[in-house]
Amino acid sequence: MKSLYAIYRKEMGHYFVSPVAYVVVGVFLALSAFFFNYFLAAVMQQALQMQMQEMEMGMHPNIDVTMEVMRAFFGLLSTLVLFLTPMLTMGVFAEERKRGTMELLMTSPITEMQIVLGKYLASLTLFAIMLLPTAGYLIFTYVRSEPVPPWRMLVAGYIGILLLGGCLLALGSFISSLTENQLIAAVLTFAAFLLVWVIDLGRNAGAGAGDVLQYLSVIRHYDDFTRGIIDTSSLIYYVSFIVLFVFLTVRSVDSIRWRRA
Amino acid sequence: MIEVQDLTKSYGGSVAAVDHVSFTVNKGEILGFLGPNGAGKTTTMRILTGYMPATSGTARIAGFDVFIDSLEVRRHIGYLPEAPPVYPDMTVSTYLDFVARIKNVPTERRGVRVADAMHKTNITDKGDELIKRLSRGYKQRVGLAQALVHDPDVIILDEPTVGLDPKQIIEVRNLIKGLAGNHTIILSTHILPEVSMTCDRVVIINKGKIAAVDTPQNLTQQLKGGQKIRVEVQAPEKSLQEFLAQIPGASRVQVETAHSNGHVAATVEAAAGKDIRSQIAAGVVQKGWPLYELRGVSLSLEDIFLQLTTEDSAHAQAAI
């Protein structure tokens, strides 16, 4: 436990001196802030138009501004995460191998599991820190809404994005452990993300295979969360995904011993 | 303290990087690993530190098998790889604190151990400096401090003096000598004097095989046995070659091509215990060739290897 914490601590320290982390977090926050403003303005405009129509024809307006903004915003967050997390994970192991510090870690009395988990938890923490300011925007719209929408929606949405990010970070760490080259790691990670993202395009592949492909897409399950639904099958999907790739990373790190280096 | 039995490592190809290597190191001893680049020094050390497994054979450190009880072995060793395994964005003291943590140094001893390692490697004043701003020599010392920080029983150093200036080399050698007794040390090098100055025993390794195991004194004695002589005269290349070859006890005559000024240089090896310099001088004078240079050349490490390896193949041919 102590060794795991030592690795975690070192990784966090590394993130806070690394220009890559600052650039990724900065770009993420700037883009999310810009799009939040944009969505808010667009949805309000739409609501205003509907209100005018109602006055003309006596129809009841049927638009929940907060919900609309939130759905659009969570959709955007997932897209930003798709593009930016490869940059967070590309160096996790690749840099360590290139610098030769992997040799230090692997000749120290710590297990591969401690190394991998320490690093994974650190990347997850950074990811959560990166998301934190965006919750402020939504909380702001919540308290300004009348009536206040259920908080459950907000919580479910953030659980969803954390799980989605958790999957991508686990997959990204695994790919980073396969190579010494950060750039290769980033490109392969992005390609792998896209694959698990769009895999449900094959849902028309026929009865059995279509269902399976649809279930395998990371983004299908995320949609449920943004609608405020915490589905057990989605939870199981995300948790299994994370466990699988953390396990594969442990095996991959262990196999470095057998590769010629 | 360290027992290595028939250690073999092959990377899949037909040639083994380490081929049936066996040796033991007693507690408190300094063992030097001497060999040219690519001889298998680093591979052997990596197996001993548990970084990679051997193909066959066993190695035990402090009674633990490096493969079966890898974690226990790693608790007992400090290791400095060829390139110091440092994080450029960390300061020296945070880096050493991190290493102390992953080496299981108890919390209350950590501060003392880090300070001690920094003191021993003479980097106390660099504690708050970022490692990336340090010179090559200081980085190497941080790497050494890292290997000492948990006060391990066994210290394994892969070319510890590479990249240091002469003054630092002397400091590091003295440091290593000072560590002996309480620690068992293996160090690798391709510099012969380094071995004779610091080590109690030397393992000479070439192409993955052990060529000799001995004390530096005995080894130097052996080397002094044969002598190499360089001679520079003004003479026809061919007659010089013939003349040198017929001197009793001379072997391996190598005549270089003539310089533009007509001088011809040649090297010749004398058999152990024979000084053929006077014979050469007398012969040259007798033939009336102007003599420009005649000196003994001490055998370099490369020559020893040349000797050891070519003798091997000569034996092999004789056997056939």
pLDDT, tens digit (0-9, with 9 covering 90-100), for B53-64 = 888 888 999 889
* B316 pLDDT above the threshold of 50: no
**Averaging pLDDT over each range in B18-22, B153-157, B239-243, B244-248, which range is the top one?**
B153-157
- Nearest CB neighbour to B74, from listed A10, A13, A107: A107
**In which band, very low, low, confident or very high, does the pLDDT at A69 lie, cut at 50, 70 and 90?**
confident
- Cα separation, A224 vs A255, whole angstroms: 38
Angstrom CA distances, B275 to B240, B266, B283, B296, stand at 19, 16, 14, 10
Smallest CA–CA distance, residue B21 to chain A, in Å, is 20
* B129 pLDDT above the threshold of 70: yes
* A195 pLDDT above the threshold of 80: yes
Q: Tokens in use for B211?
A: 């060529």
User: What does the pLDDT read at residue B220?
Assistant: 65
Which of the following CATH numbers is that of domain B227-298: 3.30.70.260, 3.30.450.20, 3.40.630.30, 2.60.40.1180? 3.30.70.260
User: What does the pLDDT read at residue B197?
Assistant: 79
* A127 pLDDT above the threshold of 90: yes
B74 touching A, CB under 8 A? yes
B42 secondary structure, DSSP code: H
- Nearest CB neighbour to A108, from listed B46, B82, B103: B103
| Contact partners, residue B25, CB within 8 Å, separation at least 6 | B1, B2, B31, B184, B186, B201
Question: CA of A16: which chain B residue's CA is closest?
Answer: B89
Contact A102, A180 (CB under 8 A): no
Task: Identify the residue whose tokens are 């390896």.
Answer: B309
User: What does the pLDDT read at residue B17?
Assistant: 85
Q: Which of B52, B55, B70, B153 to mutate to test the interface with A (most CBs of A within 10 A)?
A: B52
How many residues belong to chain B? Answer: 320
**In which band, very low, low, confident or very high, does the pLDDT at B272 lie, cut at 50, 70 and 90?**
low
* B102 pLDDT above the threshold of 50: yes
Same fold, B2-222 and B227-298: no
H runs (alpha helix) in chain B: 41-48, 70-76, 92-102, 107-120, 136-148, 166-179, 192-198, 216-225, 237-245, 277-287, 301-319
User: What does the pLDDT read at residue B226?
Assistant: 61
- Cα separation, A72 vs A40, whole angstroms: 9
Smallest CA–CA distance, residue B101 to chain A, in Å, is 6
**In which band, very low, low, confident or very high, does the pLDDT at B317 lie, cut at 50, 70 and 90?**
very low
Interface of A with B (CB under 8 A): 2-3, 5-7, 9-10, 13-14, 17-18, 99-101, 103-111, 257-258, 260-261
- CB distance A110–B102 less than 8 Å? yes
User: What does the pLDDT read at residue B180?
Assistant: 82
User: What does the pLDDT read at residue B307?
Assistant: 62
- Cα separation, B276 vs B266, whole angstroms: 14
Higher pLDDT, B293 or B305: B293
- Nearest CB neighbour to B53, from listed A7, A110, A257: A257
Q: How many of the other CB atoms lie within 10 Å of CB of A58?
A: 7
Q: Tokens in use for A64?
A: 């929940």
B99 touching A, CB under 8 A? yes
Q: What is the mean pLDDT of residues B234-250?
A: 81
Angstrom CA distances, A189 to A12, A16, A66, A169, A172, stand at 21, 23, 34, 9, 5
* B314 pLDDT above the threshold of 70: no
- CB distance A104–B94 less than 8 Å? no
User: What does the pLDDT read at residue A170?
Assistant: 96
- CB distance A18–B89 less than 8 Å? yes
Cis peptide before B53 (omega within 30 of 0): no
Higher pLDDT, A233 or B320: A233
Residues B290-299: tens digit of each pLDDT: 888 888 776 6
- Nearest CB neighbour to B74, from listed A5, A108, A260: A108
User: What does the pLDDT read at residue B318?
Assistant: 44
How many residues belong to chain A? Answer: 261
Least confident of A83-92, A101-110, B31-40, B80-89: B31-40
B184 bridge partner residues: B154
**In which band, very low, low, confident or very high, does the pLDDT at A111 lie, cut at 50, 70 and 90?**
very high
User: What does the pLDDT read at residue A218?
Assistant: 83
User: What does the pLDDT read at residue B320?
Assistant: 44
**In which band, very low, low, confident or very high, does the pLDDT at A38 lie, cut at 50, 70 and 90?**
very high
- CB distance B102–A108 less than 8 Å? yes
What is the rounded average pLDDT for all residues in chain B?
83
- CB distance A13–B86 less than 8 Å? no
User: What does the pLDDT read at residue A114?
Assistant: 94
- CB distance A101–B87 less than 8 Å? yes
Q: Tokens in use for B11?
A: 């990377």
- CB distance B53–A258 less than 8 Å? yes
Angstrom CA distances, B279 to B108, B249, B276, stand at 72, 11, 5
What is the rounded average pLDDT for all residues in chain A?
88
User: What does the pLDDT read at residue B319?
Assistant: 43
Check if CATH label 3.30.360.10 holds for domain B2-222: no
**Max Cα–Cα distance, chain A, nearest Å:** 77
* A150 pLDDT above the threshold of 50: yes
Higher pLDDT, B155 or B310: B155
- Cα separation, B72 vs B291, whole angstroms: 65
**In which band, very low, low, confident or very high, does the pLDDT at B313 lie, cut at 50, 70 and 90?**
very low
Size of interface A-B (CB pairs under 8 A): 73
B101 touching A, CB under 8 A? yes
Classify residue A37 by burial, with Cβ atoms within 10 Å: 0-12, 13-18, 19+. Answer: exposed
Q: Tokens in use for B89?
A: 């964005």
Q: What is the mean pLDDT of residues B137-149?
A: 91
User: What does the pLDDT read at residue A60?
Assistant: 65
Q: Where are the domains of chain B?
A: 2-222, 227-298
Question: CA of A98: which chain B residue's CA is closest?
Answer: B85
B93 touching A, CB under 8 A? no
**In which band, very low, low, confident or very high, does the pLDDT at A30 lie, cut at 50, 70 and 90?**
very high
* A241 pLDDT above the threshold of 90: yes
Higher pLDDT, A215 or A118: A118
Task: Identify the residue whose tokens are 């394994």.
Answer: B156
ipTM: 0.86
Q: Tokens in use for A27?
A: 């770009």
Contact B299, B229 (CB under 8 A): no
Exposure class string for A3-13: b at 16+ Cβ within 10 A, else e: bbebbbbbbbb
In this structure, which long-range contacts are made by residues A243-250, counting pairs with CB atoms below 8 Å and at least 24 apart in sequence? A244/A170, A245/A167, A245/A170, A245/A171, A245/A173, A245/A174, A246/A116, A246/A117, A246/A120, A246/A170, A246/A173, A248/A174, A249/A93, A249/A116, A249/A120, A249/A170, A249/A173, A249/A174, A249/A177, A250/A112, A250/A113, A250/A116
Residues B168-226: tens digit of each pLDDT: 888 888 888 888 888 999 999 877 777 777 888 888 888 888 887 888 777 666 665 56
